[in-house]
């Protein structure tokens, strides 16, 4: 009888504990929103388990004291997924993910996980975890893996089975990090609507891109009740903006702009000064463009302090309540932010052993300088 009673208590207690945890996370999110009118965000490549202590130090000793209040953690397939162990993800597990969230919350930082959707499904000749296990999802399987003309492979936006797996992965990351928002990537998509794809050929690229955005939005916002962020470059017309084909689209995907929900947060990334772009635009016209279209905007910079300052200044011009703040990206800085920690806290590096290490150190210094310059230009935190 005692065992039966204990089992009954456990059965009834589990939902109570789960509800309490959910309520605690919701309360923290509401408090954060009330206290942070402006986003000062940093984008971090997710650490491995052994690098987690270093990342915690970066957060507690460096980023939080500087005033960073949002951390976008790019996880991708670098996670020990329980829902799909066949992907053989390496990286944080659920317990470590929650540890990272807890450290962020202790220092007033909102953690938002990022998983690259649609694009960035390979690096070089090596497909990412999804396409390695499920090659049938590849938009361009006819192109050899070692074809150097492909920047990154993409999944087919019309494959009927893709979201059965992707939604599981997104759900697991939301639960592991106790997240109230999810960044879905979606940048630098060049292969969409390939003429050799039996499902996509002949279809409008704008419609295909909007289809993916809307399906992700329906699951994340509609079903899970979290906010959705994405890189915004594929929604910009390269001919109109003057940025070139990387920071805007020359494939027709920009036609999706009026076909996707307005509550998506657009991370509008620009890493150069305006006169350095092919079309030499007047400032950063997309910052105003997205606000006029009704989207909230989070402009993003990288490793050039003068460009960071210029982007912050552009974000102030004609700013509406749709302007959220600034995002400092941490590309090519290594997982977990080790290089940035050295650059911001120690100010120096050991003598690099090879050319790649030298380049990583230079990038870390540039990111550190851009963060300092951008935050100085923003001024004291508004509450």
**Model confidence pLDDT, tens digit, residues 346-367:** 666 665 567 888 888 899 999 9
- Degrees (nearest 5) of the Cα angle 344, 346, 352? 100
> Which domains does the chain show, CATH number per domain?
38-378 (3.20.20.80)
pLDDT recorded at residue 350: 60
Backbone phi and psi for residue 184, each to the nearest 5 degrees, phi listed first: -105, 10
Kindly report the CA angle at 116 between 51 and 355, in degrees rounded to 5? 55
For 55-76, give one letter per residue: b (16+ CB within 10 A) or e. Answer: bbbbbeebbbeeebbbbbbbbb
Return the pLDDT at 6: 42
End-to-end CA distance of the chain: 56
Of all residues in the chain, the percent with pLDDT exceeding 70 is 91
**Which positions ≥6 away from 60 have C-beta within 8 Å?**
103, 106, 107
pLDDT band at 380 (very low <50, low <70, confident <90, very high): confident
Per the CB < 8 A criterion, the answer to whether 111 and 71 are in contact is yes
Q: Which residues pair with 201 in a beta bridge?
A: none
Helix (H, G, I), strand (E, B) or coil at 113: strand
Which H helix or E strand runs over 184? strand 181-185
pTM over 0.75: yes
Of 118-127, 169-178, 260-269, the range with the lowest mean pLDDT is 118-127
pLDDT score for 89? 87
pLDDT of residue 199: 97
Q: CB-hemisphere CA count at 13 Å for 293?
A: 25
Mean predicted confidence (pLDDT) in 154-177: 98
Of 221-235, 282-296, 318-332, 339-353, the least confident: 339-353
Q: Give me the sign of the Cα torsion angle 129, 222, 252, 254.
A: negative
CB 209 within 8 A of CB 234: yes
With beta carbons less than 8 A apart as the criterion, state whether 284 and 299 touch. yes
* Mean pLDDT, all residues of the chain: 92
Give the CA radius of gyration of the chain: 21
Q: Which pLDDT score, from 0 to 100, does residue 334 have?
A: 83
Instruction: Report which of 81, 112, 265 is spatially closest to residue 178, judged by C-alpha positions.
Output: 112
């Amino acid at each position: 009888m005692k065992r039966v009673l204990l089992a009954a208590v456990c059965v009834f207690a589990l939902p109570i504990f789960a509800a309490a945890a959910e309520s605690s996370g919701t309360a923290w999110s509401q408090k954060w929103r009330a206290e942070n009118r402006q986003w000062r965000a940093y984008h971090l490549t997710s650490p491995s388990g052994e690098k987690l202590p270093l990342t915690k130090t970066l957060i507690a000793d460096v980023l939080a004291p500087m005033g960073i209040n949002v951390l976008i953690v790019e996880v991708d397939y670098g996670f020990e997924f329980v829902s799909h162990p066949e992907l053989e993800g390496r990286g944080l597990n659920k317990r470590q993910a929650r540890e990272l969230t807890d450290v962020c919350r202790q220092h007033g930082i909102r953690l938002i996980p990022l998983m690259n959707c649609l694009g960035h499904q390979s690096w070089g000749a090596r497909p990412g975890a999804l396409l390695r296990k499920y090659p049938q999802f590849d938009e361009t399987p006819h192109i050899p893996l070692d074809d150097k003309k492909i920047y990154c492979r993409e999944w087919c936006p019309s494959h009927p089975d893709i979201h059965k797996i992707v939604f599981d992965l997104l759900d697991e990351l939301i639960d592991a990090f106790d997240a109230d928002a999810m960044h879905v990537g979606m940048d630098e998509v060049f292969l969409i609507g390939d003429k050799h794809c039996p499902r996509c050929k002949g279809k409008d690229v704008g419609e295909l891109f909007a289809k993916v955005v809307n399906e992700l939005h329906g699951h994340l916002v509609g079903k899970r009740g979290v906010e959705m962020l994405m890189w915004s470059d594929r929604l910009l017309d390269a001919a109109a903006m003057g940025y070139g084909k990387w920071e805007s689209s020359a494939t027709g995907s920009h036609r999706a702009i009026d076909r996707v929900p307005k509550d998506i947060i657009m991370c509008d990334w620009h890493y150069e000064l305006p006169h350095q772009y092919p079309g030499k635009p007047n400032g950063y016209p997309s910052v105003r463009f997205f606000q006029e279209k009704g989207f909230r905007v989070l402009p993003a910079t990288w490793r050039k302090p003068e460009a960071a300052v210029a982007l912050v200044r552009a974000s102030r011009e004609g700013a509406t309540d749709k302007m959220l703040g600034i995002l400092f990206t941490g590309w090519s800085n290594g997982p977990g932010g080790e290089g940035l920690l050295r650059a911001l806290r120690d100010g120096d590096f050991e003598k690099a052993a090879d050319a790649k290490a030298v380049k990583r150190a230079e990038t870390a210094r540039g990111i550190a300088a851009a963060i300092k310059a951008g935050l100085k230009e923003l001024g004291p935190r508004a509450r």
